[in-house]
Structure 1
């Protein structure tokens, strides 16, 4: 069961791509019936194969700033498999902006599929050591970038910035006609979760599934970009579904992703959305959610990351 989501023409005009493909898809099985739970997925992955999920939302206000500025160069950061780098490269290509990606680690002999796509979309890649990359938030690092590349608009890794959170808050508009009691998302940089907190209603709970191991400062990271602590009362973080850490996976996770696709034709990735869906469904089994809960999981895209898996690992 899928509900088409319609937005006003004015809203669609501010987006780079047509968001009419987005649907709210209901998942149904005996477990949810027994637990008296409704579970749906907001299919942001349907926006575009490259700029999918939460990426376009987090980039929106940065792109707007660049288009209104004399500085037509955007610089951002990411690892060799970064969905954020890939989305930024493509968005800049569509917007007529120059893009530079600061990549964590020395340049490998064989570039990842993601980095190859970045280059194809016009992004200049600049590789730096992990030690230097760790200093990217320092003022001296920003000054160094200006000296090397000239004036530019800087987007932190994953869009982690008040503008990124503001952009992510627009995701809530696609749930305006739903009765969601809980809105769930995977947590990487925490930018999307911060945006969901900014945009949600007072009676809604935000559930974050951390995909990083030992991530103990999530609440502080969120508070830093939404400038408030009051909204955090609506936040619950699930820390037990990282499957070993960022981009780590187990046979159990892969099997779950294949089962999910077999049952619902719902593709997920092993870095973010696979862990999100596993965490939420497992929490339903454990009665974490009260009967009558109407749960929405935000599909944040990132499916291109599955390309790194051996052929035949996934059935989709």
Structure 2
């Protein structure tokens, strides 16, 4: 990625580790605003509330019915945007015979790094309370009203942590070979950091019967092809 930025003649200002650790602090962000008055500051991974609107626009472009949307998860905003958009879609464009209390479309995030619990927190910072998930153990201690609310959220989305392949940017030979074979036969490419893990996950879940028969599945390709280099 650094090589791409250099090729695009981007001005790069390197910082030390201590400064990098301040990247989300308001004081540091205010310093950047003061130094670069006309700049649009994009947080790490692009995760911010504004990102959710972009996912809504993307959802509006899908002109066919589907049951499940799958996307890789790293910094959280993409999955959060999908969740909010699907919730809106279920409420405003219900299917025939749909029980309005039961969501019919599901979002599945594929964790691309070791972060069970952590990734859920990243996603939930952008979600209203009604769409936040809690652990099963916590649900069982709630009263029925709260239980119903949380179970509905769990029906809408979850993150699968079985496909990180050892951690962020970890790409064992089997995953690399899968991406290479995919790229030779399909009209678009995937890479082992993000999209490759998502496509592998769907392939594996299909083989294990994790989806209902006849499910229409959409996999969101989030880019990042520089991960193949």
Q: How much does 1:122 deviate?
A: 4.1
Q: CA deviation at 1:217?
A: 2.4
User: Structure 2: which 5+ residue stretches go unaligned?
Assistant: 91-103, 133-152
CA displacement 1:232-282 (0-9 Å, x = unmatched): 430021101111111110001011112223343441011100000011110
RMSD of aligned Cα (Å): 1.9
**Match status 1:213 vs 2:213:** no
- Residue of structure 1 in register with 2:95 after alignment: none
- The 5 A counterparts of 1:100-139 are 114-139=1-26
Deviations 1:162-182 (A, max 9, x none): 10122122221221x212100
> Aligned-pair distance for 1:207?
0.8
Which has the higher mean CA deviation after the structures are superposed, 127-136 or 273-282? 127-136
Secondary structure, aligned partner of 1:155? coil
TM-score by length of 2: 0.77
The reply on whether 1:299 has 2:224 as its aligned counterpart is: no
Match of 1:229 in 2: 130
The residue that corresponds to 1:183 in the other structure is 69
How does the TM-score come out when normalised to structure 1?
0.57
Question: Helix, strand or coil for the counterpart of 1:292?
Answer: coil
- Structure-2 separation of matches of 1:148 and 1:258: 44
Look up the SS of the partner of 1:189 in the other structure: coil
> Do the aligned residues in 2 keep the contact of 1:166 with 1:198 (CA within 8 Å)?
no
1:288 is matched with which residue: 192, 210, 213?
210
Question: Conserved in 2, the CA contact under 8 Å of 1:162 and 1:226?
Answer: no
Query: What's the counterpart of residue 271 of structure 1?
Result: 193
Cα distance in 2 for residues equivalent to 1:253 and 1:123:
32
Rounded Cα–Cα distance in structure 1 between residues aligned with 2:6 and 2:129: 38
Tell me if the contact between 2:70 and 2:108 (Cα under 8 Å) persists in the aligned partners.
Answer: yes
Cα distance change of structure 1 residues 215 and 122 upon mapping to structure 2, 3 Å threshold: farther
> Do 1:169 and 1:197's aligned partners in 2 also have CA atoms closer than 8 Å?
no
Partner SS for 1:154: coil
Distance (Å, rounded) in 2 between the aligned partners of 1:221 and 1:181: 24
**1:228/1:167 CA distance change after superposition, 3 Å:** farther
Tell me the distance in 2 between the aligned counterparts of 1:158 and 1:214.
Answer: 15
2:184 aligned partner: 262
Whether the 8 Å CA contact 2:74–2:119 is kept in 1: the answer is no
Aligned counterparts of 1:211 and 1:258: Cα–Cα separation in 2: 18
Matched, 1:247 2:169: yes
Cα displacement string for residues 193-246 of structure 1 (whole angstroms, at most 9, x for unaligned residues): 111112123221001101011342223222212334327430021101111111
1:151 shift after superposition: 5.0
The alpha carbon displacement at 1:291 in A equals 0.8
Q: In the comparison of the two structures, how many residue pairs are matched?
A: 193
Look up the SS of the partner of 2:120 in the other structure: helix
Q: Distance in 2 between matches of 1:305 and 1:166?
A: 26
